[in-house]
Chain A
Amino acid sequence: MKRAGRRSVVFAEYMLWFLMTAVIIMVAVLVYDKVSEATDSRAVIALVIIAVICALAGLLTALDALRRRYMTGLPVRKITDATERIAAGDFSVRIAPARALEAYNGYGEIMDNVNAMAEELGKTSVLNKDFISNVSHEFKTPLSVICTYAYAIADGRLTDEETRSYARTLAETASRLSSLTTNILRLNRMEHQPPPEFRPTDIGESLRRSVIAFEDAAEEKGVALECDVCDGAVALSDEGLLELIWNNLLSNAVKFTPRGGMVRVTLAQRGGEIVAEISDSGCGMNEGVGEHIFDKFYQGDTSHASEGNGLGLALVKKAIDLLGCVIDVESSPGEGSTFRVRFAACDRERVSL
Chain B
Amino acid sequence: MIKILVAEDDKDLGALVKARLGLAGYDATLCRDGEEALEAFCGGSYDLVVTDVMMPRLDGFGLAERLREADANVPLLFMTALDDKPSKLLGYRLGIDDYVTKPFDMDELIMRIGALLRRAKINASREITAGNLRMNADEHTAYINGEEVPMTVREFDLLYKLLSYPKKTFTRAQLMDEFWGYDSSATSRTVDVYMAKLREKTAVCDGFEIVTVHGLGYKAVMK
Contacts and interface: CB of A to CB of B under 8 A. Distances in A.
A227 B83 CA distance: 27
B11 interface: no
Given A175-B103, A231-B188, A211 B216 contact: yes
Interface residues of B, number: 18
Interface in B4-47: none
Contacts of A227: 213-216
A226 B177 contact: no
Contact of A215 (B83, B84, B169, B177): B169
A205 B177 CA distance: 12
A178 to B, nearest CB: 5
A182 B177 contact: no
B173 A205 contact: yes
B166 interface: no
A178 B173 contact: no
A350 B184 contact: yes
Interface in A318-353: 350, 352-353
A209 interface: yes
Interface in A203-261: 205, 208-209, 211-212, 215, 226-229, 231, 240
A353 B85 CA distance: 15
B217 A208 contact: yes
Interface in A193-207: 202, 205
Nearest to A243: B85
A99 interface: no
A68 interface: no
Interface string B65-87: 00000000000000000011100
A174 interface: yes
A119 to B, nearest CB: 34
A189 interface: yes
B173 A174 contact: no
Contacts of B85: 240
Contacts of A212: 169, 171, 213, 216-217
Contacts of B216: 208, 211-212, 215, 227
Interface in A129-154: none
Interface in A159-189: 174-175, 178, 182, 186, 189
| Central interface residue in B83, B213, B215, B217, by most chain A CB within 10 Å | B215
B126 interface: no
Contact of B215 (A174, A182, A189, A228): A228
Contacts of A215: 169, 213, 216
Contacts of B214: 226-227
Contacts of A178: 102-103
A175 B103 CA distance: 7
B172 to A, nearest CB: 8
B215 A226 contact: yes
Contacts of A174: 103
Interface in B92-138: 102-103
Contacts of B169: 212, 215
A208 B217 CA distance: 9
A207 to B, nearest CB: 10
Contact of B171 (A175, A182, A189, A205): A205
A77 to B, nearest CB: 49
B83 A182 contact: yes
A202 B172 CA distance: 13
A277 to B, nearest CB: 13
Nearest to B189: A231
Contacts of A186: 83
Contacts of A352: 177, 182
Nearest to A175: B103
B105 to A, nearest CB: 8
Contacts of A209: 171, 174
A318 to B, nearest CB: 15
A178 B103 CA distance: 7
A129 B64 CA distance: 42
Interface string B161-176: 0000000010101100
6 contacts: A182-B83, A189-B84, A208-B217, A209-B171, A352-B177, A353-B173
Interface of A: 174-175, 178, 182, 186, 189, 202, 205, 208-209, 211-212, 215, 226-229, 231, 240, 265, 350, 352-353
Interface of B: 83-85, 102-103, 169, 171, 173-174, 177, 182, 184, 188, 213-217
Q: What are the nearest 8 A-B pairs in CB distance? A: A227-B215, A212-B169, A208-B171, A205-B173, A240-B85, A228-B215, A178-B103, A227-B216
Given A211-B216, A212-B169, 16 more contacts: A178-B103, A186-B83, A205-B171, A208-B171, A208-B216, A212-B213, A215-B213, A215-B216, A227-B215, A228-B215, A229-B215, A240-B85, A265-B215, A352-B177, A352-B182, A353-B173
